């Protein structure tokens, strides 16, 4: 009991120092009550197909805003969180994005989970000139002065999975991916990394997010006889693949690497026999042996209950997005969009659960640690650490310092 | 005295009142509402037109289309793809009406001339919309493109250019302009459908709904008239799709999906089957309910929608508008004539269908 | 050769799955002419029953094969008494009401258990066809589907209850005149159909994710198969499932599951265009 409370206090202290930096104004929130609040808008799926992932991200958003407010808010003003549940519906993303931008007139927006949702709302915030943070590991390449992406991208993660696979499993891969832009672009990166490493890809199949029956897909894979399977399957329905793969006895025959597996609650809801050994690579794992990670996890558990055991990079990236923005506001001394962007482009860093996270001004992506890990009996076994990974994929095409008017998503060129 | 006379007069009165109200909203809204409210109302107008389409084909032609979303989606995609290719929005608006009509022509010919019974028509239209959803949903990847427009699969098409002044692509409409276009179009389509129903064509369509065999014996081909009604409704749904795409500047395969077809049926049922104003009213009401449900997390919005649907089927199968209207007429009647009036009842049963 | 074996096995599994998801709907439609749009949600409830029960420590086989039909049958009974029975003879209204029930059930389960995907693990392992692996659980599906079909046949053909059911279906007034209460029979039929849907949900739970909205994935397929099958419940369901299931599996294997689904639905629409009364409306009309 007593150790628990020490942990919690330690967590709070650490988080506070991370949030507030050197500025210690513990009583500002009391005196600053009269001040007009700064509005932080959040658009995340608390229900629907992505509700599982979104629920924790929503909690993280509340947690981070709480931390900031406890530390006295920003610029002497409290932060008001305006959050909408987009219910995994693109129509509601459009609806609420317009509401946040035009009616609530928020100062910053943090949110979006799937790449589809990001691409639906990005133009709306571009038009209304509302600063937007996208806090999810994703396929990379977004190059837009108004948008900052804090999650890891393929050059920081997928290449490590492919390297591991080429070294330990073999040269012939079969790729299965979700049928939308994330899956397509990630599959392209997988193909590129395989070929760069001297391997080959025997086949690539795409599955819409509502597919649950993978029996024909498993037969196709067996027919092709690959050495390994690379998966970019997304969401709850697709988790059926791993169950059916295990049920067909394929688990022991062909190893699997995945770019999204385990970001939800797969580790707690699936049998260890199904999950063990699926190699993944993310910017954070919830059992990293660092004080900051322990502080974050115990802080979240203190606020939302002890069953918060499935935190993932999606959550720390959300935390990073809010803290990077807060740091930039402090540095700029203003919440004006252009001043905050200038501060962020100046190479801002924060200490996050994953370690040091630095905003790369040219790409608006983060330089961060990434880790390779596989599930082992419901926890993650860390296989390797890659410190200060650079978002080389986006950087290959995007330089917002030189060309601030760029506004598009670059996709990998497979011809090279 | 002809008992239908007061009803007809009331109907003409209702038409005039609706038009006046519509025009008042059209010109009043931009002065009363802020930008966000106006954008919101533009969305309502688009969905109200979608409700109009279902209300016409189901309420007046008696064709139970369970897949009206197919035409909404086709219209939206036709607009998006063609406006991205052409730049100017004038022809794309026409295409958004014509493409769904042509598709409805083929599908309708297939169904109505194939002796397929009413319930089966419901399931076939539903299945067709599911097929379209799955096909469009599977068009991710840059190989699926029409001209310069990538279909985008599950992601849909973002950043669709808005309407512009006819044949002046460099003068795109602002939020106010799109509102005037959407609401104006809604009023025009409403007037158009009223005119159709008042004309011989409409009377034959309703007669076939009432008694198909008798209409056939008199010499009308029910298949042809059902086909015409089905195509008209598809065109209206397509235009609604075009407005819908303009509202968010975005369209995705979910416009084809089952919830969309379900919603529009609920609009009609709640507003009033067999009326044109009812479905529009229902659209605004239900849509407001869905949006309100999104800002709370205690109860899932589907639960509310489901209860509304079951409740209306069991308790108010004729919908809100006819109930309100017959209540009002009864009241008027009672003021004029102390004996219980027959006219109101005639109307009530007439619109209950 | 091994591949052909695997493929044949997959086709059989596909057919069995289609039979399972269609049978309950077919019973309700065949007997009562009600298109039950809540069928997918009845399956969902069955799947939830299986997940909850196995989570609570109930033997997995009981959780999958016994409890779901009982629980969902009971729910079907309650819904029939409270909603459906007021709408007999109003086909469109029953369709709408069952659609409302479908939305309501999705909402209810989401509110109670959250919109998350659960799953149970398959209780059996795998076996090899030549050098290919296949899931033993497919055999469970196959056996369950055939047993359900056979049980329905025996029930309708050889029991007094089955006789009364068929009589009521053919001529409710005559049956009523002979002392049968049609409303009782309709109640039993609806509960039976719901129970079959529950069974399908329970059996399919281990191979698909279990979530509030899972029913939507099955609904179009189940309908079109019932309509394609025509008025004879057992023969119709069996024949249509065989035809469409085979088309679906083979096309899926050659292309993608999406195209497979589209092929199934398109084939069914074409079939209904050629045979508006379904297969058994034209052939084998005297079958069950």
CB contact under 8 A, C115 and A51: yes
The rounded distance, in Å, linking the Cα atoms of B187 and C229 is 45
Binary contact (B300, C107; C-beta < 8 A): yes
Give bridge partners of residue A368 from the DSSP assignment.
Answer: A389
Measure the CA–CA gap between A170 and A175, rounded to whole angstroms: 14
Confidence of residue C1 (pLDDT cuts 50, 70, 90): low
CA neighbor of A96 nearest in space, from B180, B286, B40 = B40
Closest Cβ opposite residue C209 in set A223, A237, A249: A237
- For B103-118, b where at least 16 C-beta lie within 10 A, e where not — what string? bbeebbeebbeeebee
Chains that touch B (3 or more CB pairs under 8 A): A, C
Quote the pLDDT of residue B141. Answer: 75
Find the mean pLDDT for residues A167-172: 95
A103 contacts in chain B (CB < 8 Å): 34, 36-37
- What gap in Å lies between CA C266 and CA C264, rounded to an integer? 6
Query: How many Å separate Cα A337 from the centre of its chain?
Result: 23
Chain A contact for C126 (CB, 8 A cutoff): yes
pLDDT value for B1? 43
Q: Average of pLDDT values for C281-287?
A: 77
Provide the token pair at B256: 């084809």
Do B127 and C265 lie within an 8 Å CB cutoff?
yes
Task: Please report which helix (H) or strand (E) contains residue B101, including its range.
Answer: helix B90-112
In the prediction, which pLDDT does B345 show?
44
Query: Average per-residue pLDDT in chain B?
Result: 86
pLDDT at A7 over 50: no
Which chains neighbour C (Cβ–Cβ under 8 Å, 3 or more pairs)?
A: A, B
Nearest CA in chain A to C248: A216
Indicate the range of A54-68, A107-121, B53-67, C221-235 predicted with least confidence.
C221-235
**Token pair in block for residue C197:** 């849907």
Q: Mark yes or no for CB contact A180/B250 under 8 Å.
A: no
CB B148 within 8 A of CB B84: yes
- Alpha-carbon span B125 to B71, nearest angstrom: 10
How far off is chain A from C25, nearest CA to CA, in Å? 21
Residue C165 host element (H or E): helix C160-170
- Residue A343 has φ and ψ, to the nearest 5°, of -65, -40
Find the closest chain C residue to A253 by CA distance: C133
Q: What is the pLDDT of residue B339?
A: 54
Cβ–Cβ of A84/B141 closer than 8 Å? no
Contacts of C143 by beta carbon, 8 Å cutoff, 6+ apart: none
Q: Tens digits of per-residue pLDDT, B185-237?
A: 999 999 999 999 999 999 999 999 999 899 999 999 999 999 999 999 999 99
CB contact under 8 A, B122 and C104: no
Contacts of B8 (CB under 8 A, 6+ apart): none
Partner C contacted by A268 (CB < 8 A): no
- Chain C positions in Cβ-Cβ contact with residue A244 (cut-off 8 Å): 135, 207
Range list of H helices, B211-342: 212-218, 222-248, 258-271, 277-294, 301-315, 320-336
Place of tokens 């008696």: B62
Residues of B with CB under 8 A from a CB of A: 34-37, 39-40, 43, 134, 137-138, 140-142, 152-156, 158-159, 248-250, 252, 254, 291, 294-295, 297, 300-301
Asked if residues A236 and A55 have their Cβ atoms less than 8 Å apart, the reply is: no
Mean pLDDT of all residues in A275-280: 93
**Residue of B276, B273, B259 whose CA lies nearest to B316:** B273
Chain B contact set for C229 (CB, 8 A): none
Counting the structural domains of chain C, the total is 1
C-alpha–C-alpha distance, residues B297 and B282, integer Å:
24
Q: Cα separation of B140 and B154, whole Å?
A: 7
The CATH homologous superfamily for domain A2-153+289-369+389-409 is Response regulator (3.40.50.2300)
- Tokens 């999906």: give the residue: B257
For residue B340, pLDDT over 70 is answered with no
Interface contact C253, partner A, CB < 8 A: yes
Domain that holds residue C58: 2-114+126-215
CB–CB of B138 and C105 under 8 A? no
pLDDT tens digits, residue range B226-270?
Answer: 999 999 999 999 999 999 999 878 888 889 988 788 889 889 988
Sign, CA dihedral A250-A251-A256-A259, equals: positive
SS3 A171: coil
- Indicate whether C259 belongs to any domain: no
What is the percentage of chain A residues whose pLDDT exceeds 90?
Answer: 62
Tokens of A48: 């629907």
- The predicted-structure confidence for C172-215, as pLDDT tens digits, reads as follows 888 888 888 888 888 999 999 999 999 999 999 887 778 888 88
A129: left (phi over 0), alpha (psi -120 to 50) or beta: left
Q: Do C227 and B123 touch (CB under 8 A)?
A: yes
**Which class for B217: exposed (0-12), middle (13-18), buried (19 or more C-beta within 10 A)?**
exposed
Contact A243 C6 (CB under 8 A): no
Q: What is the pLDDT at residue A131? A: 96
Six-digit token string for A144: 């837009």
- What CA–CA distance (Å, rounded) separates B42 from B248? 10
| Minimum-distance CB partner of B265 among C96, C259, C273 | C96
Q: What is the pLDDT of residue B294?
A: 60
CB C251 within 8 A of CB C10: no
Whether C49 and chain A come into contact, CB under 8 Å, resolves to: no
Categorize the per-residue pLDDT at B296 as very low, low, confident or very high, splitting at 50, 70 and 90. low
The CATH architecture assigned to A158-258 reads: 3-Layer(aba) Sandwich (3.40)
Distance from CA of A98 to the nearest CA of C (A): 25
- Please name the residue of chain C whose CA is at the shortest distance from the CA of residue B298: C111
Report residue C112's pLDDT band, with 50, 70 and 90 as the boundaries.
confident
Instruction: Considering chain A, tell me which residue range(s) the CATH 3.40.50.2300 domain(s) occupy.
Output: 2-153+289-369+389-409, 158-258
Chain B environment of C218 (Cβ under 8 Å) = none
Instruction: Find the closest chain B residue to A407 by CA distance.
Output: B159
Question: What is the least distance, in Å, from the CA of B177 to any CA of chain A?
Answer: 17
Domain boundaries, chain B: 4-258
* Geometric angle at alpha carbon A73, from A72 and A74, rounded to 5°: 120
pTM: 0.83
Burial label, A146 (beta-carbon count in 10 A; 0-12, 13-18, 19+) = buried
Residue C91: closest C-alpha in chain B:
B119
Q: How far apart are CA B48 and CA B42, in angstroms?
A: 10
Distance separating alpha carbons of residues A337 and A40, to the nearest angstrom = 13
pLDDT category of residue B337 using cuts at 50, 70 and 90:
low
Token pair 């939206």 is at which residue?
B76
**Are A216 and C125 inside 8 Å of each other by CB?**
no
3-state secondary structure of B63: coil
Residue-averaged pLDDT of chain C: 88
Residues of A near B (CB-CB distance < 8 A)? 46-47, 84-87, 89-92, 94-96, 98-99, 102-103, 115-116, 119-120, 122-124, 179-181, 183-184, 206, 208-210, 411
Mean pLDDT of A5-33: 43
How far does the CA of residue C127 sit from the closest CA of chain B (Å)? 33
**CA quadruple A8, A14, A18, A20: dihedral, nearest 10:** 80
Angstroms from A122 CA to nearest CA on chain B: 9
**Contact yes or no for A204/A175 (Cβ under 8 A):** yes
Strands A142-144 and A407-409: antiparallel
Q: How far apart are CA C154 and CA C241, in angstroms?
A: 19
Q: Is B144 exposed, middle or buried (0-12, 13-18, 19+ CB in 10 A)?
A: middle
Neighbours of chain A (3+ CB pairs under 8 A): B, C
- Which H or E run contains C5? helix C2-32
H or E segment to which residue B11 belongs: helix B4-32
* Whole-complex ipTM: 0.83
Return the biggest CA–CA distance within chain C.
63
In A290-333, where does DSSP find H-type helix? Answer: 291-304, 313-332
Calculated CA dihedral for residues A155, A158, A161, A166, nearest 10 degrees: -80
Give the mean pLDDT of A177-193: 91
Question: Are C269 and B64 inside 8 Å of each other by CB?
Answer: no
Across the interface, whether the CB atoms of A46 and B297 are under 8 A apart is answered: yes
Q: Which of A216, A248, A269 sits opposite C118 (nearest CB)?
A: A269
Residues 6+ away with beta carbon under 8 Å from C267: C243, C244, C247
Please tell me if residue B293 touches chain C, with a CB cutoff of 8 Å.
no
Q: Is B309 on the interface with C (CB under 8 A)?
A: yes
Q: Is C115 part of the contact surface with chain A (CB cutoff 8 Å)?
A: yes
pLDDT (tens digit per residue) in C27-75: 998 888 888 889 999 999 999 999 999 888 889 899 999 999 999 999 9
CB contact (8 A) between residue C97 and residue B130? no
């Amino acid at each position: 009991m007593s150790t628990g409370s020490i942990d919690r206090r330690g967590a709070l202290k650490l988080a506070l120092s991370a949030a507030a930096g050197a500025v210690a104004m513990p009583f500002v929130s009391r005196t600053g009550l009269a001040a007009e609040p700064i509005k932080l808008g959040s658009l995340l799926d608390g229900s629907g197909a992505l509700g599982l992932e979104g629920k924790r991200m929503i909690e993280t958003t509340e947690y981070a805003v709480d931390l900031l407010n406890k530390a006295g808010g920003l610029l002497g003003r409290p932060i008001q969180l305006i959050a909408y549940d987009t219910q995994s519906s693109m129509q509601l993303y459009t609806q609420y994005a317009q509401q946040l931008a035009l009616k609530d007139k928020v100062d910053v927006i943090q949110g979006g989970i799937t790449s589809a949702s990001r691409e639906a709302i990005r133009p709306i915030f571009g038009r209304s000139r509302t600063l937007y943070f996208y806090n999810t590991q994703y396929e990379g390449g977004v190059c837009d002065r108004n948008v900052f992406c804090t999650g890891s991208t393929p050059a920081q993660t997928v290449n490590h999975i492919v390297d591991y696979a080429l070294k330990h499993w073999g040269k012939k891969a079969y790729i299965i991916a979700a049928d939308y832009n994330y899956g397509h672009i990630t599959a392209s990166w997988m193909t590129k990394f395989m070929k760069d490493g001297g391997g080959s890809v025997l086949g690539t199949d795409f599955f819409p997010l509502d597919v649950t029956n993978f029996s024909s897909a498993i037969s196709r894979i067996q027919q092709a006889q690959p050495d390994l399977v690379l998966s970019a399957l997304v969401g709850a329905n697709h988790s059926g693949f791993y169950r059916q793969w295990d049920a067909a006895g394929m688990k022991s025959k062909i190893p699997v690497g995945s770019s999204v597996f385990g970001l939800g609650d797969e580790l707690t809801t699936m049998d260890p026999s199904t999950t063990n050994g699926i190699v993944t690579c993310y910017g954070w794992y919830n059992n990293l042996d660092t004080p900051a990670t322990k502080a974050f996890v115990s802080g979240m558990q203190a606020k939302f209950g002890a069953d918060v055991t499935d935190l993932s990079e999606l959550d720390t990236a959300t935390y990073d997005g809010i803290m990077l923005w807060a740091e930039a506001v402090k540095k700029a001394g203003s919440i004006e969009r252009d001043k905050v962007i200038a501060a962020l482009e100046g190479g801002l860093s924060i200490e996050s659960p994953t370690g040091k996270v630095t905003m790369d001004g040219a790409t608006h992506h983060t330089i961060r640690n990434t880790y390779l890990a596989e599930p082992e009996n419901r926890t993650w076994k860390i296989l390797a650490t890659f410190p200060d990974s650079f978002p080389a994929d986006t950087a290959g095409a995007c330089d917002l310092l030189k060309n601030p008017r760029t506004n598009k998503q670059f996709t990998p060129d497979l011809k090279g | 005295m002809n008992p239908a006379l007061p009803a007809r007069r009331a109907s003409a009165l209702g038409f005039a009142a609706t038009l006046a109200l519509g025009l008042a909203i059209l010109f009043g809204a931009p002065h009363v509402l802020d930008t966000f409210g106006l954008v919101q109302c533009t969305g309502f107008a688009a969905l109200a037109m979608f409700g109009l389409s279902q209300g016409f084909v189901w309420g007046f032609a008696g064709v139970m289309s369970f897949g009206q979303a197919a035409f909404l989606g086709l219209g939206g995609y036709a607009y998006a793809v063609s406006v991205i290719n052409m730049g100017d929005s004038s022809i794309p608006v026409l295409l958004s009406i014509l493409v769904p009509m042509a598709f409805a022509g083929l599908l309708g010919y297939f169904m109505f001339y194939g002796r397929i019974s009413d319930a089966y028509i419901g399931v076939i239209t539903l299945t067709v919309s599911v097929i379209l959803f799955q096909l469009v949903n599977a068009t991710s990847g840059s190989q699926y493109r029409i001209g310069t427009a990538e279909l985008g699969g599950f992601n849909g098409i973002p950043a669709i250019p808005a309407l512009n002044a006819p044949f002046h692509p460099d003068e795109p409409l602002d939020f106010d302009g799109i509102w005037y276009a959407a609401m104006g179009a809604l009023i025009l389509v409403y007037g158009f459908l009223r005119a159709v129903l008042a004309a011989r064509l409409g009377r034959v369509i309703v007669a076939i709904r009432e008694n198909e065999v008798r209409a056939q014996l008199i010499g009308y081909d029910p298949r042809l008239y059902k086909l015409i009604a089905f195509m008209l409704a598809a065109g209206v749904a397509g235009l609604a799709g075009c407005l819908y795409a303009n509202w968010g500047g975005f369209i995705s395969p979910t416009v084809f999906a089952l919830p969309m077809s379900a919603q529009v049926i609920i609009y009609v049922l709640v507003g009033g089957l067999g009326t044109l104003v009812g479905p529009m009213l229902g659209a605004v009401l239900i849509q407001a309910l869905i949006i309100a449900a999104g800002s709370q997390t205690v109860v899932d919005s589907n639960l509310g929608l489901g209860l509304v649907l079951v409740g209306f089927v069991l308790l108010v199968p004729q919908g809100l508008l006819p109930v309100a209207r017959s209540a009002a007429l009864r009241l008027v009647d009672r003021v004029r004539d102390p004996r219980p009036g027959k006219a109101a009842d005639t109307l009530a049963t007439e619109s209950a269908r | 050769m091994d591949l052909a074996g695997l493929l044949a096995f997959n086709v059989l599994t596909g057919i069995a799955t289609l039979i399972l998801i269609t049978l309950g709907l077919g019973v309700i439609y065949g007997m009562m002419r009600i298109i039950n749009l809540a069928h997918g949600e009845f399956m969902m409830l069955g799947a939830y029953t299986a997940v909850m029960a196995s989570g609570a420590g109930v033997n997995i086989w009981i959780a999958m094969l016994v409890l779901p039909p009982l629980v969902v049958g009971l729910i079907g009974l309650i819904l029939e008494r409270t909603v459906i029975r007021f709408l007999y003879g109003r086909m469109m209204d029953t369709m709408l009401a069952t659609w409302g029930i479908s939305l309501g059930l999705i909402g209810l389960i989401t509110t109670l258990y959250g919109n998350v995907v659960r799953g149970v693990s398959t209780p059996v392992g795998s076996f090899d066809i030549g050098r290919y692996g296949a899931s033993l659980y497919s055999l469970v599906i196959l056996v369950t589907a055939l047993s359900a079909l056979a049980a329905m046949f025996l029930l309708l053909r050889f029991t007094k209850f089955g006789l009364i059911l068929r009589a009521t279906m053919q001529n409710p007034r005559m049956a009523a005149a002979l002392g049968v209460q049609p409303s009782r029979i309709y109640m039993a039929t609806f509960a039976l159909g719901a129970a079959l849907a529950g069974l399908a949900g329970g059996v399919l739970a281990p191979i698909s994710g279990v979530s509030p909205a899972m029913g939507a994935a099955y609904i179009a397929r189940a309908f079109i198969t019932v309509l394609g099958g025509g008025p004879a419940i057992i023969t119709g369901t069996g024949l249509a499932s065989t035809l469409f299931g085979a088309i679906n599996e083979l096309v899926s294997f050659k292309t993608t599951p999406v195209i497979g689904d589209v092929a199934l639905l398109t084939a069914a629409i074409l079939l209904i265009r050629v045979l508006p009364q379904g297969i058994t409306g034209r052939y084998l009309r005297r079958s069950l």
